[in-house]
């Protein structure tokens, strides 16, 4: 399928490559990193378009003075105006278009990073796959959003699926989308989505995978590989809002989630409560610090770290523990391999490698590895 923006934007470099070929290329990446291991076929999507349910858009002023919105050109802060993105959720695409048109009619200006002038900086949207509701965050570069009531009234009239609206202030010279101060101006400030029959609350800063269809595949595969029994205890490192922890708790006697982001831990505890899951504990801590104070005693470890990986200290801590098996989920197989090379020194062996296509038409691939400790 042709994308008129792909060569400018760079967000989906492989959009003009056949989807089966992209899966072959991703599997080859993993095989190159792990040449001595068998790598499963990549678990792909039936329909690989419009899969992103977490969307960012930025604003700029066109040469004719009108407001436009789109994506940053890869590696720059130059906004490429996009009316339709083939990998973004279609509801989100429509909301961005209509918001921009209303804001332009109201003469709202785009924020200019160099001068610190202007108002509208970003839109951030989360779309619930299971419920269809939308969380909309309007990021502004000033203290107030002029005409916010009028803008909101018109937008909600066009898009009643918008369930919550937040105004976020970000006046700093930074590449971070969200600032520290935010105000809920409509709704509760969060939405809900479901994975594996468990309902999760998603707020503006919650970590929740961008592709909900493949998230189901990713987590089900990871938990199946973990082979959790009702007598097992589970430690979930980098647990976010408790997705894997709560899914694991349904199979285990007890599950503990560790995460450094306080809001994510609050959401995780709330998710456990409103789903009636009581055999869990959630701890707000840097995982390196946590493992220094609490050596691993759980029978199963599951880890889904950021792109930087677990790191040497954490990998050594897990290696020195008595845990018998580990499932390592990674969005960066390079750092995943570095950590696994350390774990191998403690008797862990790779048993299964299953790549999952979370980010269709990009070079990125999510990778699941099952490790067991050899006697």
Using the 3D structure, point to which of 195, 228, 245 is the last residue of a domain.
Answer: 195
Extract the tokens encoding 325.
Answer: 């098996």
Whether residue 365 is found in the same domain as residue 217 = yes
Same-domain check for residues 121 and 146: yes
* Catalytic status, residue 238: no
> For residue 180, how many C-alpha atoms fall within 13 Å in the half-sphere facing its CB?
3
Q: Is 231 domain-assigned?
A: yes
Q: Which domain holds residue 287?
A: 8-47+211-373
What does the alpha-carbon distance between residue 248 and residue 246 come to, in Å, rounded to a whole number? 5
DSSP 110: B
Question: What would the two tokens of residue 150 be?
Answer: 């009028």
If one counts every other C-beta atom within 10 angstroms of the C-beta of residue 262, the result is 10
Q: Tell which wins on pLDDT, 114 or 343.
A: 343
Same domain, 293 and 349: yes
**Both tokens assigned to 317:** 């801590």
Contact predicate 314/237, CB 8 Å:
yes
pTM, 2 dp: 0.90
- Of 153, 168, 195, the residue at which a domain comes to its end is 195
Same domain as 253, residue 175:
no
**1 inside domain:** no
Cα Rg of the chain (Å, integer)? 22
Assess contact for 121 and 59: CB atoms under 8 A: yes
Which of 9, 239, 331, 360 does the annotation list as catalytic?
A: 331
Task: Give yes or no for a contact between 22 and 361, defined as CB atoms under 8 angstroms apart.
Answer: yes
- Residue 67 gets the label, from left (phi > 0), alpha (psi -120 to 50) or beta, of beta
Of 261, 314, 268, nearest to 284 by C-alpha is 261
- Would strands 300-303 and 233-237 be described as parallel, antiparallel, or unpaired? parallel
User: How much is the pLDDT for 12?
Assistant: 75
Task: Tell me if 204 is assigned to some domain.
Answer: no
Structure tokens at 88: 């973004």
302 in a domain, yes or no?
yes
Please give the structure tokens belonging to residue 37: 């291991």
Q: Residues 332, 215: one domain?
A: yes
Are 152 and 273 members of one domain? no
Q: Write down the residue that tokens 């949207």 correspond to.
A: 125
Query: Residue 81 maps to which CATH number?
Result: 2.40.50.1070
363 and 238 both lie in a single domain: yes
| CATH, residue 236 | 3.40.50.150
Each residue's pLDDT tens digit, 218-270? 999 999 999 999 999 999 999 999 999 999 999 999 999 999 989 889 989 99
pLDDT digits 0-9 by tens, 8-52: 676 778 888 899 999 999 999 999 999 999 999 999 999 999 999
Domain co-membership, 185 together with 293: no
* Co-location of 250 and 358 in the same domain: yes
pLDDT at 174 over 80: no
Q: Is residue 248 part of a domain?
A: yes
Instruction: Check whether residue 153 and residue 35 sit in a common domain.
Output: no
Domain boundary among the residues 163, 195, 227 is at 195
């Amino acid at each position: 399928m042709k994308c008129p923006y792909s060569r400018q934007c760079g967000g989906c470099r492989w959009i003009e490559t056949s989807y089966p070929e992209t899966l072959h290329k991703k599997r080859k990446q993993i095989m190159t990193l792990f040449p001595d291991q068998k790598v499963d076929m990549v678990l792909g999507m039936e329909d690989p378009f419009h899969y992103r349910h977490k969307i960012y858009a930025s604003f700029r002023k066109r040469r004719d003075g009108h407001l436009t919105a789109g994506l940053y050109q890869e590696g720059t802060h130059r906004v490429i105006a996009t009316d339709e993105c083939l990998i973004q959720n279609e509801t989100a695409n429509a909301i961005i278009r209509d918001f921009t048109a209303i804001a332009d009619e109201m003469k709202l200006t785009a924020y200019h990073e160099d001068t610190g002038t202007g108002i509208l900086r970003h839109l951030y949207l989360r779309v619930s796959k299971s419920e269809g509701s939308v969380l909309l965050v309007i990021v502004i570069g000033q203290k107030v959003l002029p005409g916010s009531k009028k803008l909101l009234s018109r937008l909600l009239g066009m898009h009643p699926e918008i369930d919550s609206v937040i105004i976020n202030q970000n006046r700093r010279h930074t590449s971070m989308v969200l600032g520290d101060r935010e105000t809920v101006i409509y709704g509760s400030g969060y939405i809900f989505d479901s994975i594996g029959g468990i309902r999760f609350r998603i707020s503006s800063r919650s970590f929740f995978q961008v592709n909900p269809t493949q998230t189901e595949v990713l987590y089900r595969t990871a938990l199946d590989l973990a082979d959790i029994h009702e007598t097992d205890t589970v430690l979930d490192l980098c647990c976010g809002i408790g997705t894997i922890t709560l899914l694991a708790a349904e199979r285990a006697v007890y599950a503990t989630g560790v995460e450094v982001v306080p809001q994510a831990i609050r959401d995780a505890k709330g998710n456990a409560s409103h789903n009636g899951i009581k055999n869990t504990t959630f701890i707000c801590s840097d995982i390196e610090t946590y493992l220094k104070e609490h050596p691993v005693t759980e029978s199963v470890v599951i880890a889904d770290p950021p792109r930087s990986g677990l790191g040497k200290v954490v990998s050594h801590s897990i290696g020195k523990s008595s845990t018998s098996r580990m499932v390592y989920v990674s969005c960066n197989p390079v750092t995943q391999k570095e950590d696994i090379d350390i774990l191998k020194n403690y008797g862990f062996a790779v048993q299964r490698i299953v790549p999952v296509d979370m980010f269709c038409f990009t070079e990125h691939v999510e990778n699941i590895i099952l490790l067991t400790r050899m006697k």
